[in-house]
């Protein structure tokens, strides 16, 4: 506690951990590359330097405030230093900005402008290191890396993986995988959180935009698109809306304008997942099956479990993710209903997620040799297509999803937030067992940004222990507790991304805690506004289950909607 003076203004220290936070309270936003409140402090970029009377220049992110400190944030020295840092970075940087994936959202570009850097006084070092495009999800371009280490700390601290680290020395220093192996050959789970914090174009999402344009323009193909829950509360950010502001209707209208033949909703199969997974849980409780039941809709978590916890694979729900259930329905059933072969229908997904690009390529998810989901676009890629087509998003009249695969309940909307899958299953099993009408059930203990959440549920005279985790480092903590016998749960939801899919690696940047909170609020708001709050009230889903499979949870649904895992 105590007080400091920031540019002549007295500010309370309170719980501020460093000078940067105190300065922020004085209404001054210091530029940073390597500072993220949810990661450890690295203090490498030197952008946040301030002058402290009696101490001289200090890095504000890694210096704790002390009572009586007199801080100056904008002096000739700090200004000169910040410009110098930017110039040095630019001298070492592949400056093909105009054609860069992050042009317009690059922090290096933004800060160079903000700080008035109009020329670089140092010679340009043009070192071309090969670009790694081996991954289905991400592209690594070391020529654009500024060595801030954000990706390194993200992967290590939040995901517990440590795929990235610094290698080599001096001018050759770069961030890469162990032994500099191609990204497709290491244990990367494709969550894309590294790309979400990368300030430049060094780590970007692999684009499938051109292949989708080709499909749309191919007269022989019927192109069907599904949109994930978390996209609708984030795509607006690309068009000036706030995180969480609903843009569903405009998004649907834009997709129709782009030329998709059918615009459907992943909410449809999220409801289907809840029913199949809810019945799976009830079945395991009744017959003494493997517990806890782990959710399986996050492909980053599935790959993590396959790589590191093969002994838990029988605990994972056998349900395919909503994305893959959707692809399977389209290729195996919907195509036939509209008189087409699976190969004549192209199924595109729009996802907040980069790991979904990998999931769609898994060999088990095919029908008659063609992938169930042909292409996966991130939220940002869809925004790019809309911009490329010159569609004025904000002036679009809202439109509705097509049917029959365009209808979802509020329980499906909240899938996009950490805790949402668990809450949906809770809604389903409680009303299923009580034979209730499925009115609104709010299950607050599993909501929110917290990394590990626990709850219990009274069901049929039994108390179920539930846990929800986001971030794979948190998942690992929980698994260790379970394996050592320190904890027991009946069901566990795991999502790799902090906050759940709403914080996925394919969402618009800034993809920070504030944006995630906004999107989360948006999703729960949409649930409240929905007419249905329970998957079993979605008659389009229950009818489809009847018509195509003869009802839920039987050998037919197991063939098309479930899967197995590979250690
Ligand atoms: Fe998610 Fe999903 S909720 S993983 O985060 O389960 O990507 O939004 O689409 O598949 O529905 C992502 C989001 C989905 C799936 C759904 C699930
Ligand atoms: Fe993808 Fe969601 Fe998993 Fe993140 S939490 S990797 S967005 S499925």
- Residue closest via CA to ligand 1's atom 15 equals 322
Residue 1 has pLDDT above 90, yes or no: no
The whole-number pLDDT of residue 438 equals 56
73-112 pLDDT, tens digit per residue, is 999 999 999 999 999 999 989 988 999 999 999 999 999 9
- Residue closest via CA to ligand 1's atom 2 equals 322
- Residue closest via CA to ligand 2's atom 1 equals 353
For residues 265 and 336, give the distance between their C-alpha atoms in angstroms, rounded to a whole number. Answer: 19
Q: Domain 210-561: which topology?
A: Rossmann fold (3.40.50)
Residue 11 has pLDDT above 70, yes or no: yes
Q: Which of 238, 276, 359, 493 is catalytic?
A: 359
Residue 273 has pLDDT above 80, yes or no: yes
The whole-number pLDDT of residue 101 equals 94
The whole-number pLDDT of residue 125 equals 78
The whole-number pLDDT of residue 172 equals 87
Neighbour count for residue 510 (Cβ, 10 Å): 15
pLDDT > 70: percent of the chain: 99
The pocket around ligand 2, CB under 6 angstroms, is made up of 191, 298-300, 352-353, 355-356, 495-497, 500-501, 504
Q: For the structural domain made of 121-204, what CATH number should be given?
A: 3.30.70.20
Residue 302 has pLDDT above 80, yes or no: yes
- Could you state, in order of their start, the residue ranges of all structural domains in the chain? 3-74, 121-204, 210-561
Computed over every residue of the chain, the mean pLDDT equals 96
- Residue closest via CA to ligand 1's atom 14 equals 228
Question: Is the ipTM here above 0.90?
Answer: yes
pLDDT > 90: percent of the chain: 92
Distance 497 CA to ligand 2 centre (A): 5
| Global confidence as pTM | 0.96
For residues 504 and 512, give the distance between their C-alpha atoms in angstroms, rounded to a whole number. Answer: 11
For ligand 1, is residue 351 a contact (CB within 6 Å)? yes
DSSP per-residue letters across 234-276: TGGGGGTPPTT---HHHHHHHHHHHT-SEEEEHHHHHHHHHHH
Q: What are phi and psi of 354, to 5 degrees?
A: -90, -30
Can you tell me the mean pLDDT for 417-426? 98
Distance 501 CA to ligand 1 centre (A): 6
The whole-number pLDDT of residue 220 equals 97
**Residue 562 DSSP class:** B
> Considering the domain 3-74, what is its CATH architecture?
Roll (3.10)
Can you tell me the mean pLDDT for 430-455? 87
Query: Can you tell me which atom of ligand 2 is nearest the CA of 500?
Result: 5
Left (φ > 0), alpha (ψ -120 to 50) or beta: where does 240 sit? left
Can you tell me the mean pLDDT for 290-295? 98
Pocket probe for ligand 2: among 501, 503, 507, 511, the residue whose CB has the most ligand atoms within 8 Å is 501
The whole-number pLDDT of residue 215 equals 98
Helices (H), 435-536: 472-483, 513-529
């Amino acid at each position: 506690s105590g007080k400091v003076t920031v540019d002549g203004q007295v500010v309370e220290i309170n719980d501020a951990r460093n000078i940067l936070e105190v300065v922020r309270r004085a209404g001054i936003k210091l530029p940073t590359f390597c500072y993220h409140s949810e990661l450890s402090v690295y203090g490498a970029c030197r952008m946040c330097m301030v002058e402290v009377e009696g101490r001289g220049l200090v890095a504000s992110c890694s210096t704790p405030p002390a009572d009586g400190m007199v801080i100056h944030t904008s002096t000739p020295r700090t200004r000169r230093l910040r410009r110098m840092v930017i110039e040095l970075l630019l001298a070492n940087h592949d400056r093909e900005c105009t054609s860069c994936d992050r042009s317009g959202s690059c922090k290096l570009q933004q800060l160079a402008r903000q700080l008035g850097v109009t020329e670089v006084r140092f010679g340009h070092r043009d070192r071309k290191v090969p670009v790694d495009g081996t991954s289905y999800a991400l592209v690594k371009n070391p020529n654009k890396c500024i060595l801030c280490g954000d990706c390194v700390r993200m992967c290590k601290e939040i995901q517990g993986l440590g795929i990235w680290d610094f290698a080599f020395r001096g001018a050759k220093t770069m961030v890469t995988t162990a032994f500099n192996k191609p990204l497709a050959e290491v244990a990367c789970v494709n969550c894309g959180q590294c790309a979400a914090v990368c300030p430049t174009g060094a780590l970007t999402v692999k684009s499938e935009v051109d292949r989708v344009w080709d499909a749309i323009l191919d007269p022989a193909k019927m192109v069907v698109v599904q949109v994930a829950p978390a996209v609708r509360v984030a795509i607006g950010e690309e068009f000036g809306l706030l995180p969480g502001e609903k843009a569903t209707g405009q998004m649907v209208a834009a997709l129709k304008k782009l030329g998709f033949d059918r615009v459907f909703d992943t909410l449809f199969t999220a409801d289907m997942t809840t029913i199949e997974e809810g019945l799976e849980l009830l079945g395991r409780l009744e017959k003494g099956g493997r517990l806890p039941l782990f959710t399986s809709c996050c492909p980053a978590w599935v790959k993590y479990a396959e790589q590191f916890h093969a002994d838990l694979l029988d605990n994972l729900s056998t349900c395919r993710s909503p994305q893959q259930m959707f692809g399977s329905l389209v290729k195996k059933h919907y195509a036939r209903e509209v008189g087409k072969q699976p190969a004549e229908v192209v199924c595109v997904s729009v996802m907040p997620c980069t790991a979904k690009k990998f999931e769609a390529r898994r060999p088990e998810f095919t029908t008659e040799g063609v992938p169930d989901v042909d292409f996966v676009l991130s939220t940002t890629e869809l925004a790019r297509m809309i911009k490329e087509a010159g569609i004025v998003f904000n002036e679009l009249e809202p439109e509705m999803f097509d049917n029959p695969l365009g209808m979802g309940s509020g329980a499906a909307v909240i899938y996009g937030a950490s805790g949402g899958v668990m809450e949906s299953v809770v809604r389903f099993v409680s009303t299923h067992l009580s034979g209730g009408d499925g009115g609104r059930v709010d299950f607050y203990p599993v909501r929110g940004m917290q990394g590990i959440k626990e709850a219990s549920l009274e069901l049929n005279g039994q108390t179920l222990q539930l846990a929800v985790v986001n971030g794979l480092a948190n998942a690992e903590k929980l698994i260790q507790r379970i394996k050592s016998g320190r904890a027991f749960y009946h069901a566990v939801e795991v999502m790799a991304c902090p906050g759940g899919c709403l914080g996925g690696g394919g969402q618009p940047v800034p993809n920070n805690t504030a944006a995630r909170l906004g999107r989360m609020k948006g999703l729960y708001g949409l649930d409240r506004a929905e007419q249905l709050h329970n998957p079993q009230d979605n008659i389009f889903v229950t009818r489809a289950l009847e018509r195509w499979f003869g009802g839920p949870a039987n050998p037919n649904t197991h063939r098309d909607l479930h899967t197995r895992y590979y250690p």
